[in-house]
Structure 1
Amino acid sequence: MRRLRDKPLASVLIVDDHPVVLQGLVSWLAGEPHIEIAGTAASGRECMLLVKEKDPDAVILDAHLPDICGIDLAKDLKKIAPHLKVILIAGQPESGFYINNILAAVLSKGCSSREIIRTVYAVLNMEPPSREEWACPLNVLTPREAEIMNLVMRGLQNKEIADCLRIKIRTVEFHIGNILDKLEVSTRTEAVTRWLKLMSRPGL
């Protein structure tokens, strides 16, 4: 595990064959001040290659991949990287998933971004970011989310944002959902108010 400003910096690999889910996991973790994305993979083969190349601290793994079962992949990963913490995301987690300490944690597909982030910190025995670190807007939203948030502040609706950024409306909706979750609000108006407060902090 590397260090940044005298604090641990965890390297996390994300594995899922669904592009939207993969994008969401990357978006949630990319805004964390003490987590870096080691890479992404959509298959067991890609995952094995990246673990050998990048040597991440943890991997977030879908239970069902096109070429291998998540449990079997986890077993193979632990053989080449015994230190690796494997977090399995399954449709309906069961206690039986904890086989011979292969898995560090099991989460349901419906879990929140906060739960995933807390789990990453927990399995790596890391302290979550301090209130001061989270108060910095650069640590709250990803660059794309901040870009969308600024357009929301200008009063643009989802279709207008999609046209402006040349992305799909579904992608905009996905990012808006992440923004509301990260800012811990339930409406766009509340998000704007919260974002303005963050951006008005002295020194930013």
Structure 2
Amino acid sequence: MTSRILMDEAPLTAEDHVPRPPERARILVVDDHRTFAELLSRALDAESDLECVGHAQDAKEALIEVARLDPDVVLMDVHLPDRDGISLTAELISTYPDLKVLILTAYASVADIQRAAAAGASGFLAKDGSLSDVLDGLQTARSGSLILPDGLMARLSGLGSKDETMQRWHLTPRELEVLRLLGHGLDPRAIAKELDVSLHTCRDHVKRVLAKLGVHSQLEAVVVATRTGLIRLDE
């Protein structure tokens, strides 16, 4: 008979569990100002959870680089040499639905905000803002939250009655609350925690809000709601 000796495995200790570093968000910068792009690239690479994977100077190059590099987030200048950045955003989101695009602009008009929302952009970043604001915005966009700089949506404030607008779109009080929290930049996971509901329930609320408003993105829903006076972002 052949005998076998079983060796007891030593129990794992806290020192044996090496935490995996967080996966870095892959950022593509689309801007024709090379100096700005290079400085931003260095700043991104210095972050533990962000990585600049490339830089495109125009729309043609951006389409090639997105297909080649598969970024998580695109930082898109609104003015490109060969094309409008917002129309390029619409094309990219149509091709890559999970891609997050942040519009980079010195000034966003009401028309720009509405077009970017309809294009599926995740929000805006001020080109003359601080570097920390840009980095925070990119980190937030990756989680699926909206990026709405202070004062930007105030330009869309509407004159409609909230009660009349709710009746027009048949929104329930809970759906209105979800919409208001979206306007404050919360993603569905954070909203679910705030309202003490399951993530599945919260996502259903978001889907119904988008369907009732006839929009295709969270940003577009917030734009429509703010424009019509359904929600106020200073509340």
TM range (shorter): 0.5 to 0.7
Partner residue of 1:44 out of 59, 63, 82: 59
Q: Distance in 1 between matches of 2:32 and 2:107?
A: 18
**CA displacement at 1:96 relative to structure 2:** 2.7
- Residue by residue, what CA displacement relative to the aligned partner does 1:110-137 show, whole Å, maximum 9, x if unpaired? 11110011011111119xxxxxxxxxxx
Does residue 5 of structure 1 match 2:20? yes
**CA displacement at 1:98 relative to structure 2:** 3.7
Q: Would you say how many aligned residue pairs link Structure 1 and Structure 2?
A: 123
Matched with 2:140 is 122
In structure 1, runs of 5+ residues without a counterpart are 127-204
Q: Distance in 2 between matches of 1:116 and 1:56?
A: 17
Shifted more, 86-95 versus 112-121: the winner is 86-95
Does residue 107 of structure 1 match 2:125? yes
8 A Cα contact 1:97 1:103, kept in partner: no
8 A Cα contact 1:97 1:106, kept in partner: no
**CA displacement at 1:23 relative to structure 2:** 1.4
> Is the strand fraction higher in 1 or 2?
1
Matched with 2:40 is 25
- Residue by residue, what CA displacement relative to the aligned partner does 1:28-50 show, whole Å, maximum 9, x if unpaired? 21111111112111010111011
Q: Sort the Cα spacing of 1:21 and 1:6 in 2 relative to 1 into closer, same or farther, 3 A.
A: closer
Matched with 2:94 is 79
Give 1:131-150 correspondences, 5 Å limit: none
| Structure with bigger gyration radius | 2
Q: Distance in 2 between matches of 1:46 and 1:80?
A: 16
**CA displacement at 1:56 relative to structure 2:** 0.6
Q: Distance in 2 between matches of 1:7 and 1:30?
A: 14
Does residue 57 of structure 1 match 2:72? yes
Identity %: 28
Matched with 2:155 is none
Q: Distance in 2 between matches of 1:21 and 1:96?
A: 26
